[in-house]
Amino acid sequence: MKWFLSILLIASTGLFTGCETRHLPGSDNDLKTYLWLTIVIATMAIVIVVLIWINYRRSRQNIVELTDLHDALTYKNQALLQTLTALEQSHNNNSRLLKVVAHDLRGPLGAITSIAELGSDGKVPDEKYKQIMGIIYRSGTKALSLANDLLLDLQNLGTLNNAEPLHIDDQLKYCVELYDHKMKEKDQRSILETIPAVVIGDREKIWRVFSTLISNAVKFSREGGVITITMKQQKENLLISFHDEGIGIPDDLKDRIFEPTEATTRPGTFGEPSYGLGLSITRNIVLLHLGRLWFESHPKTGTTFYVSLPLVSTGNK
């Protein structure tokens, strides 16, 4: 701006000097005319420069205000996106929670329904009445316990709140007994080989692991198949295997089988539905107990899931 004013002043001075030099012989009126003309031009130039300067200052202020407004809108937009993401995650968690509830309750409720159906058809022998009523009672108790546990604790599946010494052989015997009716529907049978073994764990969560693996073995085994469950001690760990003679796991699903998504689901050999949550929950629970979960599968020989858990003791109870 200073150089612009300097040029105008120099031009004005030159104009004035030129006028004075050229009109010395003439009248004073011409000199005054040129003088006033120079003053007017210089004044207009100064006014223009001042207006340009004021406009420049205002433009800079407007730019600053627009920048602040843009930053504020960007911040609010990010906050809104975070809120929407949190709401979407909450919705997904609620949907997943409902699926988990349905998944875990299907076992004991299915046992009660099947046994009640046998009783209504008069197919229950008198000598097995007491045994069957015991299964109904234990299944109902298990379902009620699961409902209470899910209401209190399913929002935080990553904690181990009720760790206690567990006799794994008893847990397995109970789970096999619970799914015996499902095996009979498909003319299947089970082989259970146990050893006395104790681990530290959450009773309900460990039950979910065994229930899911046995349920899947029944679901994906062919009619007349054999499901073999064995327990072995491996140094300081307890190794439990769940083997079926079923349809196996396709190669394109093996890397994603533990993901909690419906993309890994497929119906059982009798069209049983799947929800894509059981193995994901099972793996998380096993990891929570400092254990390992893996599998071997082939379409012709079936699938074997392995669960390794830290062993506390073996021997008599």
pLDDT of residue 41: 87
Residue 155 reports pLDDT greater than 50: no
C-beta separation of 228 from 250 below 8 A: no
Q: What is the pLDDT of residues 238-295, one digit of tens each?
A: 999 999 999 999 888 898 898 876 666 788 888 887 766 788 889 989 999 999 999 9
Q: Which region among 56-60, 92-96, 238-242 has the lowest average model confidence (pLDDT)?
A: 92-96
pLDDT of residue 153: 53
pLDDT of residue 187: 94
**pLDDT level of residue 139 (50, 70, 90 thresholds):** confident
Q: Is 67 or 156 the better-scoring residue by pLDDT?
A: 67
pLDDT of residue 45: 85
Q: What percent of the chain has pLDDT over 70?
A: 66
pLDDT of residue 82: 56
Average pLDDT over residues 108-128: 67
Q: Which region among 12-21, 104-113, 184-193, 307-316 has the lowest average model confidence (pLDDT)?
A: 12-21
pLDDT of residue 149: 58
pLDDT of residue 21: 44
Residue 18 reports pLDDT greater than 50: no
pLDDT of residue 3: 45
pLDDT of residue 11: 46
Q: For the chain, what is the HEC assignment?
A: CHHHHHHHHHHHHHHHHHHHHHCCCCCHHHHHHHHHHHHHHHHHHHHHHHHHHHHHHHHHHHHHHHHHHHHHHHHHHHHHHHHHHHHHHHHHHHHHHHHHHHHHHHHHHHHHHHHHHHHHCCCCCHHHHHHHHHHHHHHHHHHHHHHHHHHHHHHHCCCCCCEEEEEHHHHHHHHHHHCHHHHHHCCCEEEEECCCEEEEEEHHHHHHHHHHHHHHHHHHCCCCCEEEEEEEEECCEEEEEEEECCCCCCHHHHCCCCCCCHHHCCCCCCCCCCCCCHHHHHHHHHHHCCCEEEEEEECCCEEEEEEEEECCEECCC
pLDDT of residue 305: 97
Average pLDDT over residues 61-74: 80
C-beta separation of 227 from 218 below 8 A: yes
pLDDT of residue 273: 75
Average pLDDT over residues 228-239: 96
